[in-house]
Each structure stands twice: as structure tokens, then as C-alpha cells.
Amino acid sequence: MKPLRCLQTLLMLIFLTTPQWLARGQAEEASTWASEMPTLYRIIPNITYLTANNYEARLDLYLPREAKEPVPTVIHIHGGGWVGGAKETDLPYFLPYLEMGWAVVNVEYRLGRISLAPAAVEDCRCALAWVWRNAKDYNLDTSKLVVTGFSAGGHLSLTTGMLPASAGLDRECNPPTSIRVAAVVNWYGITDVLDLLDGPNMKDYAVRWLSSLPDRELVARRVSPLTYIRPGLPPIMTIHGNADPVVPYDHAVRLHDGLTKAGVPNRLLTIQNGKHGGFTREEYVKIYEEIRQFLNRNGITRRR
């Protein structure tokens, strides 16, 4: 089966099994929208945006067919603790952007079994650089780029949007000097990687990602969003449950406090008693409405 046909089949399966809060409320309606997907969007799967360590890092494009001008674009980065996950499983989470008529760039990156930290961070920065270089070809509005992700994808969305050139993590792809994003939507992402390597918050996935690197504490700080808080960052919204057992809620609080002190527009949406995702239908509806409002307040909308 050809790659595009495979992707379309996967789209149908995902739409048919998507929870009601993301699939327009009814399975039949979701199925209809899935069948119309090829007419609404041009789907270009598995574009290689970077080759590193003999690994081809790829992304998928979802491009609204009827757009007559550059459209707002969300760059979505999957989670999995930097050591698991796949871009193909995350369609339900960026479906709301598709329904708003946005373009979507769905990104994969080198997992820990391919390359240890900071490879994933470098790859996502290279994906952003690829979007900037190819925006005109695909009608993407570089003034309205939003990067988002869940868990490790939240962490990578933050580093993608926050890293300065001085961090030295852009050398794989030498991005344009003007590269930046309009906003970051961070779903319960890690903000202090060092915190997860030892002590009461130690997490296996973080230990595996940095393994036995001789300078792992230095690397952990280099890939921690808290390291890069400063004035002038793009607006950042964080969604985090205050009972999250996988990524400490404190990570969200410290990010919010630091951004506020630096004068960066930001929003922390706390899900009371929320775990690591798996929120209720009502909570997801509220979250996506809050995201829309946050983007609207910061001028990131699509003109119809």
C-alpha cells in the first residue's frame, strides 16, 4: 500500500475511534468528516526534514485545500518520554486545529534508542527551520506559527519556541536568523530535566534519555526550558493536572512564575485533580476553548 493510502486509512481508523470530545460528538459525523478529509486537506506524509546519525527524521503536512492566502500553522510534536511514541498516533490531539482550517505540521524526531539527548531537541528545532524555509511552497504563515505537544512533546515544544541561537543546539540545520514562533501551547511538559534524573522526582524515561552521558547534568540543564526564561519570549500557555504522577505539576508552576517575572505573556490552566492527560470530555472541551481564546488574545487567528 502506498504511503498516502496508508495514512488515509489510518486517518479513518483514528476518526472512528476518537473520543467524542474530539470527533464532533458523534461517531457517524466523525466518520463523514474523515471520509471528506482528502477533499478538505492535502495530506503529504513522511517528508524528510533532517538526516542525522543515518536516521531520516520526517514530518507530515496537512494543508487546507481552499486556502487562498498563508494560513496559521501548528507544529505538533508527539510525546513518549523522548524514548517512545510516534507521530502517527497523535491525530486526535491536533484535530481541533484542522477543524479551524489551520495547517498542521506533525513532527517525529530521534528517540533515545537512536540518539540520546539532546538529539530530540535539535531535531525539533530543525523541523521549525524546515517550516520557515519551505513556508511559501506550502502556504504557511510564519507570523502565525504555534508549536505544541504533550508531555515530552510539551517539553520539545517549549525548547523549540524558547531556545536562543546561543544555546548551540541549532548546528544540525543552521536555521534562518529570523526564526521564531508566535506562541507555544504546552501540555504538561517537562521544564526541569535535571529534576527527573535523581531524587524524589526521578523518572525512568528521563534517565534512559540521558543514559550514562559523562556530562548528563550539563546536558539536562541545556535542554531544560527553565534555563531559557527571559523577556521577549513568545506567549506560552501551559495545561497541567495538579495530580500528575508522570511530570510534576511543580514544573508548570515554576515555568509560569518565571515567565510572569520576566514579563512574558503566559497562562497556566490547572486541571484540578488531573493526572497525566486522560482528562474528561468536559475538561478537554474547556481546554481547547481556552486555547482558542489564548491564541485570539495574542492575535493568532485565521481570517475567513
Residues 6+ apart with CB under 8 A from 130: 49, 50, 59, 173
pLDDT value for 114:
97
Tens digits of residue pLDDT in 45-54:
999 999 999 9
Q: Is 113 helix (H, G, I), strand (E, B) or coil?
A: coil
**CA-CA distance, 95 to 128, in Å (whole number)?**
20
Higher pLDDT, 18 or 145: 145
Tens digits of residue pLDDT in 136-184:
999 999 999 999 999 999 999 999 999 998 999 998 898 877 789 999 9
Q: Residues 217, 182: contact at Cβ < 8 Å?
A: no
For residue 107, what is the DSSP state?
Answer: E
The pLDDT of residue 34 is above 70: no
156 grid coordinates: 520539545
pLDDT value for 27:
46
**Averaged over 3-12, what is the pLDDT?**
41
The pLDDT of residue 33 is above 80: no
- Give me the percent of the chain exceeding a pLDDT of 70: 87
**CA-CA distance, 61 to 44, in Å (whole number)?**
5
Q: Which of 82, 75, 79, 193 is nearest to 125 (CA)?
A: 75
For residue 171, what is the DSSP state?
Answer: T
Helical residues (DSSP H) of the chain, grouped into ranges? 3-17, 27-40, 91-99, 119-138, 152-162, 204-210, 216-222, 249-261, 281-297
The pLDDT of residue 230 is above 80: yes
Half-sphere exposure in the Cβ direction for 285 (13 Å, CA): 9
Q: How far is CA 75 from the centre of its chain?
A: 6
Model pTM score: 0.90
pLDDT value for 218:
97
**CA-CA distance, 59 to 267, in Å (whole number)?**
28
pLDDT value for 25:
43
- SS3 percent helix, strand, coil of the chain, rounded to 5, is 45, 20, 35
pLDDT value for 298:
95
Q: Give the total residue count for the chain.
A: 304
- For the chain, domains (ranges, CATH) are 39-297 (3.40.50.1820)
User: What pLDDT band is residue 68 in, cutting at 50, 70 and 90?
Assistant: confident
pLDDT value for 18:
46
